[in-house]
Chains A and B, each alone.
Chain A
């Protein structure tokens, strides 16, 4: 029985112990250090760092961001300094904080995912999020994330090469999200996170050209929340492993919706760009909500939407 007010937000996702259920979504919080002037990183549930690849990656050229009504499109293309730079330079600085660090990994081949998983073992990271769903890269993106067999293959390879908890991040750009969720669960995923960005596009009517250099990009922000919520609900009903819900969460009320839909934890993404304190404020708001409702543990919300 948990009743201590300090414990009411604590969650354990596949062995990753978090002080609050509110994580930061990959690609939206840098390596966390970028926000350390604003936020006490010790108060964040978990930091999911930028998508990391074996070799450094320059990302896409041309314009990389476009604002849309209540949302944004990005086509960063996984720019990152590579796994060695992360391990040697960035992780030692993150290790000074009392916060689980989860590395989002991305490969061009199944083997590369395995190499990344092996390399990150015993480096102090708390878990791996397998990015089988980045819409902005030609290889290793949609090909893995939209086919149940290849998604499962990647997860199996990663599981074979690491002792760390493995979270499979699903793409929303599929017909049947429950099918994908079951496939990665069967392959051994310890948890599932969703959604990654939706594939989107914007066109400049003055030049008749696409706004983004990459033509298409990942659509995120509060505009995508209803889609994300529906998919989290469908996925959570299809699997037994914990689901981490994300997609347009700006407030505690948004987060509570995701938890009622079946998410055991949530991540804020685009909200960080607008409000650096979002992850901490959302957690505080969930605590207030629980208190008002007379609940003493955040897990009491999980999956409690009444569809009857």
Chain B
């Protein structure tokens, strides 16, 4: 099985909180093979504006009933159009794209910031037999609906908010060193804003813990053809975020 384009039918498109939506689509050909950390590239309409597809990480995937769960925040015209999708409508869904997380380690720590928490849901579920701990950060309590999504998946949830409205006041990277000293995590998986990933990578290196990061970049094709989304690599070569990533070992990225 390989990546493909399918017409995916909308099952659910509902508000989770504020401007964040949960979209569930039927796409068996993709759901059957998708791995945590991979993404899909959605074409919303046959109209020419917006023109390009929208890359969305896969937050959850049920191979048995062929569904994918995608969580998105309204940030522009494309995502605003997505909110209009109704059950029964279809979208052109390309996937599964990119390389996912490498599932290693017995004591994984997941670190997620904002919408970066979406792909970590599927990752946390993949670790069920050896439960993952998660450290999650957001701007405020209203944005931190995520504990519900991780309930029953991650027994240990640590929270930070920028304004202190829930959990620790500050950033995930403020809390991370303390967590690493207290518990013996053997791998870190992170997804979120670039500055957070940069911080997590530096801390992981300091504590000598293997760390994978999932990067986000503006992209057009999603299959490695256009080179819009490349990032600098430590080997001297540039990486394609869409096909070499979006998940990289932290030391592969020239921060």
Interface residues of chain A, those whose CB is within 8 Å of chain B, are 27-30, 34-35, 37-38, 50, 58-59, 61, 63-67, 69-72, 74, 76, 79, 221-223, 250, 270, 272-277
12 contacts between A and B (CB under 8 A): A34-B223, A34-B224, A38-B4, A59-B238, A65-B226, A67-B50, A69-B49, A70-B49, A71-B51, A74-B220, A276-B5, A276-B223
Contact yes or no, B228 A67, CB < 8 A: no
A67 touches which of B5, B52, B221, B224 (Cβ 8 Å): B52
Shortest C-beta distance, A230 to chain B (Å), equals: 19
Chain A residues lying within 8 Å of B35, measured Cβ to Cβ, are none
Within 8 A of A (CB), among B69-93: none
Count chain B residues whose beta carbon lies closer than 8 angstroms to a beta carbon of A.
28
- Identify the 5 closest CB pairs spanning chains A and B, nearest first: A30-B225, A65-B228, A273-B220, A34-B225, A70-B48
Contact yes or no, A273 B5, CB < 8 A: no
Chain B residues lying within 8 Å of A30, measured Cβ to Cβ, are 221, 223-226
B94 touches which of A34, A58, A72, A276 (Cβ 8 Å): A276
Contact yes or no, B218 A63, CB < 8 A: yes
Chain A residue with Cβ nearest B50 = A67
**Interface status of B64 (Cβ within 8 A of chain A):** no
Chain B residues lying within 8 Å of A28, measured Cβ to Cβ, are 221, 225-226
Contact yes or no, B49 A27, CB < 8 A: no
Additional A-B contact list (4), CB under 8 Å, known A37-B2, A79-B238: A27-B226, A35-B223, A70-B51, A273-B220
Contact yes or no, A273 B218, CB < 8 A: no
Q: Main secondary structure on chain B at its contact with chain A?
A: loop
Q: Complex Cα distance A35/B94, Å?
A: 12
Chain B residues lying within 8 Å of A70, measured Cβ to Cβ, are 48-49, 51
Chain B residue with Cβ nearest A63 = B218
Pair count A-B, CB < 8 A: 90
Shortest C-beta distance, A246 to chain B (Å), equals: 16
- Given the known A-B contacts A37-B2, A65-B220, are A273 and B94 also in contact in the complex, defined by CB atoms under 8 Å? no
Shortest C-beta distance, A252 to chain B (Å), equals: 14
Contact yes or no, A72 B48, CB < 8 A: no
> Binary interface profile of B, 215-231, with partner A (CB < 8 Å = 1, else 0)?
00011111111111110
Within 8 A of A (CB), among B22-61: 43, 48-53
Q: Complex Cα distance A223/B94, Å?
A: 24
Q: Which of B2, B49, B220, B224 has the most CB of A within 10 A?
A: B220
Q: Complex Cα distance A142/B149, Å?
A: 52
Chain A residue with Cβ nearest B223 = A34
Chain A residues lying within 8 Å of B238, measured Cβ to Cβ, are 58-59, 79
Q: Complex Cα distance A272/B243, Å?
A: 17
B3 touches which of A29, A37, A64, A272 (Cβ 8 Å): A37
Chain A residues lying within 8 Å of B4, measured Cβ to Cβ, are 37-38
Shortest C-beta distance, B142 to chain A (Å), equals: 22
Q: Complex Cα distance A50/B49, Å?
A: 26
Chain B residues lying within 8 Å of A79, measured Cβ to Cβ, are 227, 230, 238
Shortest C-beta distance, A51 to chain B (Å), equals: 10
Contact yes or no, B48 A66, CB < 8 A: no
Shortest C-beta distance, B110 to chain A (Å), equals: 28
Contact yes or no, B50 A272, CB < 8 A: no
Chain B residues lying within 8 Å of A223, measured Cβ to Cβ, are 48
Q: Which of A30, A70, A79, A223 has the most CB of B within 10 A?
A: A30
Chain B residues lying within 8 Å of A274, measured Cβ to Cβ, are 43, 51-53
Chain A residues lying within 8 Å of B53, measured Cβ to Cβ, are 273-274
Contact yes or no, A74 B226, CB < 8 A: yes
B51 touches which of A27, A34, A67 (Cβ 8 Å): A67
Chain B residues lying within 8 Å of A58, measured Cβ to Cβ, are 238
Chain B residues lying within 8 Å of A34, measured Cβ to Cβ, are 221, 223-225, 243
Q: Complex Cα distance A30/B52, Å?
A: 17
Q: Complex Cα distance A206/B53, Å?
A: 24
- Given the known A-B contacts A66-B218, A274-B43, are A222 and B228 also in contact in the complex, defined by CB atoms under 8 Å? no
Q: Which of A28, A35, A222, A274 has the most CB of B within 10 A?
A: A274
A76 touches which of B50, B223, B224, B227 (Cβ 8 Å): B227
Chain A residues lying within 8 Å of B225, measured Cβ to Cβ, are 28-30, 34-35, 272-273
Chain B residue with Cβ nearest A76 = B227
Shortest C-beta distance, B193 to chain A (Å), equals: 15
Shortest C-beta distance, A101 to chain B (Å), equals: 15
Within 8 A of A (CB), among B146-175: none
Chain A residues lying within 8 Å of B220, measured Cβ to Cβ, are 65, 72, 74, 270, 273
Chain A residues lying within 8 Å of B222, measured Cβ to Cβ, are 273
> Binary interface profile of B, 196-235, with partner A (CB < 8 Å = 1, else 0)?
0000000000000000000000111111111111101000
Chain B residue with Cβ nearest A66 = B218
Within 8 A of A (CB), among B1-23: 2-5
